[in-house]
A and B are shown apart, each in its own frame.
Chain A
Amino acid sequence: MLEQFPMHQIINEEGEIVDSSSMGDITTDEIKSFYYKMLRARMLDKKCVHLQRQGRIGTYVPYEGQEAAQIGSSLALQEGDWMFPTYRDHAATLTFGHSMRNLLLNWRGRPEGNVAPEGVNIFPPGIPIASQLLHATGAAWAEKKRGSDRISLVYFGDGATSEGDFHEALNFGSVFNTPTVFFNQNNGYAISVPMKRQMKTKTIAQKGLAYDIECLRIDGNDVLSVYFATQSAVDRARDGKGPTLIEAVTWRYGAHTTADDPSKYRDQKETEARRETTDPLLRIERYLKTQEAWEEEWLTRIEEEITLEIETALTEMESYPEPDLSQLFDYVYDTPTWTIQEQVNNHLAVQGRTTQ
């Protein structure tokens, strides 16, 4: 199947264009804006790992290395489309319009972290592996029933393809021809378990064959390949041609979460060495250099800009009002049941409080 599903690239590891026919008429400025968004995500990620070490946020899930996969794909969506992320996809949700402050609040254990700005259709991250794929087919199905041209895109990892919900979602998408993009980030590991223990197949893309849906395998570290592949899947979905499974091959450089020690299951020196060939930012830097479009002053300027944005969001996060009990009790049902009302009152009475 590796022959049937070669990993598509537009820009290779050296920063050279290997498939100019798939690039449309994208401009250097647009490619620079892709770089900007990847840098923004990376700087936020590094900051969060640091904040966790300082105890300023709780357990954090890093995505360093997967910026091209997340950003290239999210940029192919339009306003009104639906995004179904996992716990690792905040580079994607940030790019699709989630608020940076709220994303930071998420890592402070605040429910606001699940709430994107009004009009930005992002689901709370799927925590039980693969369960969110079915919401993506359901929400897309609703759009189709209404006759709108909105679509849904759902993220999931290599490990998720072992779950029943992955297969049930591909089957529903296929049977009901829902406008859904199944975007797989194959980062090689599900916590400690490598892909070869998760499945015998060499590709994830081939799993779409069983459901007779379009499947693609791409270099998930090549932001242009990701962007154009997702674009084609999104177009097909909008045109009523149904779902697509995209396998974006990538790598996570860091730990599964800040509570994980990757040296227990893999050689982190080897992972570090991979940056030379797989780092999605380095690849665009190399490309821009071949185009003589790389300027150190530009990099310095955008780094400053992003640092300011992150610091501002961080200040807002840290000065955000404390949570109140309404967040615990008021959103379980449209109208709290009598048992919940009684429990609130008893809780407050014992604490000598009168209000939430």
Chain B
Amino acid sequence: MTTTAINTKKMTMIQGVRDAMHEMLKEHDDVMILGEDVGVNGGVFRATEGLYEEFGEDRVIDTPISESGIIGNSIGLAVNGFRPIAEMQFLGFIYPAFNQLMTHATRLRQRSMGRFTVPLVVRAPYGAGVRAPEIHSDSVEALFTQMPGIKVVVPSNAYDAKGLLIASIDDPDPVLFLEPMRCYRSSRTEVPDGKYNVEIGKASVLKEGDDISVFTWGAMVIDTMKAVEKLEAKKNVSCEVIDLRTLYPLDKETIAASVQKTGRAAIIHEAPATGGVSNDVISLINDTSFLYLRAPIQRVAGFDTPVPVYSLEQEYLPSTEKIQTAILHAVDF
């Protein structure tokens, strides 16, 4: 972490997101925001509240409902001197823009041998558990971790959100910045004023422990912390909890060091199990720490089903009970 900040304020994650954009719009003329309802309305979650009033309609731009158009134009703007922050209203509506990300934003640097680069941040609220309508709750981070040329970042609290978003805007390559909706207002953390970075590619150890390393990200951080708290209160077990924060590139050192210390691992995510980022974590542990393992690596994930309508979403999401069971299974193996 590098920081020039002094004062801090307690804020929610959504305020941290807004604070980062406010800071970067203020400091850098080339930063701009594009999206649906991001201007006058301040965003459907209020992530851009007041930014239109302060920075004007040329920098905080209400676009047509046109995801491919938003990303495609952002590519043109990014290549030609700007640093756009494109908001997808929900991750579940990024699919019309998939082509622009897959075939252009992430490839232009290589296709042009470095002549054209795309310093673009795509922000997207995501995840289940907020009783949203259909399609609004998808958790498809793995579609993007397998997309060469982009980085995938997921904060779970205000401090990380602000520092990671600033780092993402400053990054010379495209970054997908995922915002777990359930974390938007679930907690408040101290956030420094001014500009500071949380480095992309670095996980955060939320809680140290000796018996098992529990890796998670996004809204599952909330459930994992709850599960661990409950479990430790009733059993003699000590869990290390790590918020990965960046899903590509993964923090190899932190993951390996933790597993080598505890000898056990569990991975918790709400995305469907098959093809999930957990597989990359397992593979990384296999490559770095196989001989340290004392139990099979546990995984608690969403089903290989579409995220259901909200009457069933609690069935779909990994529960604290499932997380506890998985941890015990490894510890008692």
Contact = CB atoms under 8 A, between A and B. Distances in A.
Interface of A: 82, 111-112, 114-115, 123-124, 127-128, 131, 133-143, 145-146, 152, 164-165, 168-169, 171-172, 175, 327, 330-334, 337-339
Nearest to A123: B116
Greatest chain A CB density within 10 A among B63, B71, B82, B104 is at B104
B68 to A, nearest CB: 5
Q: Which 10 A-B pairs have the closest CB atoms?
A: A138-B76, A134-B72, A142-B80, A168-B69, A138-B73, A139-B76, A337-B249, A334-B172, A135-B76, A331-B110
Contact of B77 (A133, A138, A164, A171): A138
B204 interface: no
B119 to A, nearest CB: 9
A152 B72 CA distance: 14
Given A128-B99, A131-B104, A137 B113 contact: no
Interface string B59-72: 00001101011011
Interface of B: 58, 63-64, 66, 68-69, 71-82, 96, 99-100, 103-104, 108-117, 148-149, 151, 171-173, 201, 248-250, 252
13 contacts: A111-B110, A111-B112, A123-B79, A134-B72, A138-B74, A138-B78, A138-B79, A164-B96, A165-B69, A327-B113, A332-B149, A333-B109, A339-B250
Given A111-B113, A142-B81, A168-B68, A131 B76 contact: no
Given A135-B72, A171-B64, A172-B66, A114 B80 contact: no
B113 A115 contact: yes
Contacts of A139: 76-77, 79-80
A339 B149 contact: no
B63 A134 contact: no
Contact of B76 (A140, A165, A332): A140
A107 B76 CA distance: 25
A114 B113 contact: yes
A330 B151 CA distance: 16
Contact of B115 (A115, A137, A333): A115
Contacts of A141: 73, 76-77
Contacts, number: 126
A142 B64 contact: no
B130 to A, nearest CB: 29
B203 to A, nearest CB: 13
A183 B141 CA distance: 37
Contact of A135 (B63, B79, B117, B250): B79
Q: Which of A131, A133, A333 gathers the greatest number of chain B CB atoms within 10 Å?
A: A333
Contact of A111 (B79, B111, B116, B249): B111
A134 B96 contact: no
Given A165-B68, A333-B151, 10 more contacts: A137-B76, A141-B77, A146-B81, A152-B76, A165-B72, A327-B113, A331-B113, A332-B148, A334-B171, A334-B173
Contacts of A172: 63-64, 66, 69, 73
Contact of A331 (B63, B114, B248): B114
Contacts of B71: 134
A124 B75 contact: no
Contact of B58 (A133, A136, A145, A334): A145
